[in-house]
Chains A and B, each alone.
Chain A
């Protein structure tokens, strides 16, 4: 089944404790992206990657890092999480072009 897999689905952590949210896709898509969803703000792009070793900032990159060492994986790293990073996070992938995007099921992160 073609899908984007994120882990974990739920995570509660403390301020300052480094964490990684994994994202993997099995569709050989070139493009991958991370979004965060907050009430009243919709989804906002954090980082994106056009292909292996090519990443760039989205609209809200502060406090986040990403890497794209393999085509299928695009982890999101929070080096020192803060409470304002409490949110619902989605990974997405697509082929180049205007075909639409496949989203993962989301990771609900709470930073206390």
Chain B
């Protein structure tokens, strides 16, 4: 079946460090791929998305490229800030009826 695998956290970084959070997926066909972010005590917010192979989603300095050949959608940011501390979820959607989420990766950024 369709599934998403994310790297285990927490990821702990110093401010201005480079961030990569790995995400791979299993799905037939061409799913849409998403990154959502959950700040403490809040709901999930859509961070970025990509709907076809080689698309790059970007927002707030974060980027992720839809790689069909490696079935991956890794999240990157060149210079993280303390305010980026949150839980990040990778997700896929084959149809509009369901988002399939990874287990989430907690990012902690220290000054």
Contact = CB atoms under 8 A, between A and B. Distances in A.
Interface of A: 4, 31, 33, 35, 40-45, 48, 50, 56, 58, 90, 92, 94, 96-106
B99 interface: yes
12 contacts: A4-B43, A40-B103, A42-B89, A42-B103, A43-B89, A56-B97, A90-B44, A100-B49, A101-B99, A102-B46, A103-B43, A104-B43
A97 B96 contact: yes
B51 interface: yes
Interface of B: 32, 34, 36, 42-46, 49, 51, 89, 93, 96-99, 101-104
A98 B44 contact: no
Contacts, number: 56
Contacts of A101: 46, 99
Given A96-B96, A98-B32, A98-B51, A90 B101 contact: no
A110 B75 CA distance: 33
A1 to B, nearest CB: 14
The secondary structure that dominates the A interface is: strand
Contact of A103 (B44, B96, B97): B44
Give 3 nearest A-B pairs by CB, closest first.
Answer: A98-B32, A103-B43, A42-B103
Contacts of B42: 105-106
Nearest to A3: B43
B49 A31 contact: no
Given A90-B44, A100-B46, A42 B98 contact: no
A101 B34 CA distance: 10
B101 A43 contact: yes
Contacts of A92: 44, 99
B47 to A, nearest CB: 9
